[in-house]
Structure 1
Amino acid sequence: MVELILSEAAHGEPAGALWSSPSWWVALAMTIFLVVLIWKKAPAAIGAMLDGKIAAIAKQLSEAEQLRLDAESLKAEYEAKLARAAKEADEMRDRATAEAEALVAKAKDDATALIARRKQMAEDRIAAAEAGALAEVRTAAAKAATDAAAKLIADKHDAKADKALIDNAIAAVVKG
């Protein structure tokens, strides 16, 4: 009661006139506003709007998660491709090294065979030259022997001895 008297003294209005107070009108307007909002289903609309936003955010989150999974999948795929490429490069390097070693070995073998062929050819040439020289020496010796024999025959034989030798040679040919 003391408050009612103080309120009356402060506002200069009697305590019985509740509807004449501005705070009562504000409370009444607020109550009417809230009743209209509930009657027009504003909380449900606000809830539906918030649910729509939540659904949109959830959809964006799921899309982001899917993009992250796709990115991880692509990363793993490219890491596997990189590993395969590195393995292929190692295999190519090993193959090239083996081929190079084979080529070097073949070149050594070919060089050895070429040296052996050239050596054989040189030895054949030397043997041919020796044979030619030996033939020349034999020819020269035979010629010298023939010339010496002819000189000896010419010196020691006369026409009479020659006739007997020719007759003996002809007789040997006829018999033979």
Structure 2
Amino acid sequence: MTERVAQRNPWLVLAGFLGVVAVVAGVGALAATSARDVYARLEQPSWAAPASWFGPVWTVLYVMIALAGWCYWRTDGETRGFAAYGIGLLFNLLWTPLFFAGGATRLALADIVLLDVVVVVTIVLFARRSKLAAALLVPYLAWILYATALNTAIVVLA
């Protein structure tokens, strides 16, 4: 552990990562107040997940995203990794308001495709310093790739 990392209380830093990710989740939750109704009205493919899955899945994923950032920080992670992580959080934050609150499914699709790319880049950058940090993001990548396919199908079926 480097001197910079050793100087900070790791539990406070973990709380910071959890807090930042909670803000992203909170914005999504506020934008998704009518998500169940909107989702139910959309023309969906037969393989679409039930609306009841999204809350529990995202709760676990958000905790894993925060832990990934913290694990990377513990290695004295480089700026590029944190930049990718932050950009990914921004794209994540934007998707729910675009898709559910704004009804902009095509713009949401562009956003989530960019999110897919940024998460892959983040995994690659994190893996250079922490295999655990990178591995914690893999379920997130799998879920957003599924969400990308679902968003694509909804755009095509509309």
The structure with the largest alpha-carbon Rg is 1
TM-score (norm. length: structure 2): 0.18
More helix by share: 1
The structure showing larger relative contact order (alpha-carbon pairs under 8 Å, at least 6 residues apart) is 2
TM-score (norm. length: structure 1): 0.17
